[in-house]
C-alpha cells in the first residue's frame, strides 16, 4: 500500500513538472524539430480498425448477441475513425514529444473529445515501433514511448497507432535524446575542468606563499649569521 502511494506521488510530481514547463512554453512557442504524419495511413488505419471491430462483433454475437448491434454501428464507427486520424498531430520539440487528437464521442451528435499529451524528453527511455500480426496485414504500426521507469509505472507508456513513418520519428527522437545527453556530459566536463583549473590556481598560490615564507626565513638566517660574525670580530 505504501509503495503504491509513493508511486502515485511520483507520477503527480512529474505531471506537475510537465505542467509548469508547459505553462512557460505557452509564453514562448517552442520550435518543432520533427512532425509525424497520419494522413497517408488513413485508409489502412480505418480498414484495420474496422476488421478488428467486426471480429469482436462476431465473437460477441456467438457469446451474448450484443455483436449484432456492433455490426449495425460500423458506419458510425468508421466516421469516428476518419475524424480521429485526420485530427491527430505528433511532433518533437527541443524538450518534449507532443501528441494531440480530437475525436467525436461514440455518438458524434454529442460533441468531441480533446486529448493533448506532452512527454518530457528527460523522462523518455526509448521509442518502440511495434506491429502485430493483424496490423502487418494492413501495414499499420504502433509507436510506444517508454518512460524511464523511475518516476512512472510501465502502464503509463504513451501508445500511438497509425503513424505513417514511425521509424523516422523514432530516429528524430533518439537523435535529440543523444544531443541532450551529449550537452549534459559537455557541461559536466566543463564544470570539472573549471574546478580543476581553480584547484591548480589555488595550488600555485599556496606554493608562491610557501616560497615567499622560505625566502623570508633565509633572509632572517642570513641577518642573524651576519650579526653573529660582527659580534665575534
Is 151 in contact with 157 (CB distance < 8 Å)? no
Q: What is the pLDDT of residues 35-62, one digit of tens each?
A: 999 999 999 999 999 999 999 998 888 7
Distance CA 213, CA 53 (A): 90
In this prediction, residue 2 carries a pLDDT of 39
Q: Which of 72-81, 85-94, 109-118 has the lowest mean pLDDT?
A: 109-118
Q: What is the pLDDT of residues 130-164, one digit of tens each?
A: 999 999 999 999 999 988 865 556 566 889 999 99
**Statement: residue 111 has pLDDT above 60:** yes
Cell numbers linked to 72: 449495425
Give the residue from 129, 128, 145, 130 showing the smallest Cα distance to 92: 145
- For 2-190, CATH gives 2.30.29.30
Domain boundaries, the chain: 2-190
Is 45 in contact with 81 (CB distance < 8 Å)? yes
- How much is the pTM? 0.69
Distance CA 6, CA 109 (A): 42
Mean pLDDT of 209-221: 70
Q: What is the pLDDT of residues 6-37, one digit of tens each?
A: 443 333 344 444 445 455 554 456 799 999 99
In this prediction, residue 172 carries a pLDDT of 95
Q: Look at the block and give the residue holding cell 518516476.
A: 151
Mean pLDDT of 166-180: 94
**Statement: residue 187 has pLDDT above 90:** no
Amino acid at each position: 500500500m505504501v509503495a503504491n502511494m509513493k508511486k502515485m506521488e511520483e507520477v503527480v510530481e512529474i505531471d506537475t513538472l510537465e505542467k509548469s514547463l508547459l505553462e512557460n512554453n505557452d509564453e514562448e512557442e517552442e520550435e518543432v524539430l520533427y512532425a509525424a504524419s497520419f494522413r497517408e495511413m488513413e485508409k489502412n488505419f480505418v480498414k484495420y480498425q474496422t476488421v478488428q471491430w467486426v471480429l469482436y462483433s462476431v465473437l460477441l454475437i456467438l457469446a451474448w448477441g450484443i455483436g449484432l448491434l456492433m455490426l449495425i454501428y460500423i458506419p458510425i464507427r468508421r466516421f469516428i475513425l476518419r475524424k480521429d486520424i485526420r485530427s491527430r498531430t505528433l511532433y518533437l520539440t527541443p524538450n518534449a514529444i507532443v501528441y494531440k487528437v480530437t475525436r467525436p464521442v461514440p455518438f458524434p451528435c454529442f460533441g468531441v473529445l480533446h486529448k493533448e499529451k506532452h512527454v518530457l524528453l528527460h523522462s523518455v527511455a526509448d521509442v518502440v515501433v511495434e506491429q502485430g500480426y493483424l496490423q502487418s496485414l494492413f501495414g499499420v504500426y504502433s509507436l510506444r514511448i517508454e518512460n524511464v521507469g523511475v518516476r512512472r509505472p510501465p502502464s503509463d507508456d504513451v501508445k500511438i497507432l497509425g503513424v505513417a513513418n514511425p521509424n523516422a520519428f523514432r530516429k528524430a527522437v533518439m537523435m535529440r535524446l543523444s544531443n541532450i545527453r551529449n550537452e549534459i556530459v559537455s557541461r559536466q566536463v566543463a564544470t570539472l575542468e573549471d574546478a580543476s583549473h581553480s584547484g591548480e590556481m589555488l595550488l600555485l598560490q599556496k606554493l608562491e606563499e610557501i616560497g615567499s615564507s622560505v625566502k623570508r626565513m633565509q633572509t632572517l638566517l642570513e641577518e642573524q649569521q651576519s650579526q653573529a660574525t660582527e659580534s665575534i670580530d
